[in-house]
Chains A and B, each alone.
Chain A
Amino acid sequence: ETGVTQSPTHLIKTRGQQVTLRCSSQSGHNTVSWYQQALGQGPQFIFQYYREEENGRGNFPPRFSGLQFPNYSSELNVNALELDDSALYLCASSLGTPTFETQYFGPGTRLLVL
Chain B
Amino acid sequence: AQSVTQLDSHVSVSEGTPVLLRCNYSSSYSPSLFWYVQHPNKGLQLLLKYTSAATLVKGINGFEAEFKKSETSFHLTKPSAHMSDAAEYFCVLNTDKLIFGTGTRLQVFP
Q: A residues near B, CB below 8 A? A: 2, 4, 33, 35, 40-45, 48, 56, 58, 90, 92, 97-100, 102-108
Contact = CB atoms under 8 A, between A and B. Distances in A.
Contact of A42 (B42, B45, B102): B102
A45 B49 contact: no
B98 A103 contact: yes
Name, among B32, B45, B90, B98, the residue most crowded by chain A CB atoms within 10 Å (CB to CB).
Answer: B98
A110 to B, nearest CB: 9
A99 B102 CA distance: 21
Given A33-B98, A41-B103, 18 more contacts: A2-B45, A4-B43, A33-B97, A35-B100, A41-B102, A42-B101, A43-B90, A45-B97, A90-B44, A92-B44, A92-B98, A97-B96, A98-B98, A99-B94, A99-B96, A104-B46, A107-B42, A108-B43
A45 B96 CA distance: 10
Interface residues of B, number: 20
Contacts of A90: 43-44
Contacts of B97: 33, 45, 48, 56, 58
Interface in B19-65: 32, 36, 41-46, 49, 51
Interface of B: 32, 36, 41-46, 49, 51, 90, 94, 96-103
Nearest to B100: A42
A100 B90 contact: no
A109 B100 CA distance: 19
Contacts of B32: 99-100
A106 B67 CA distance: 28
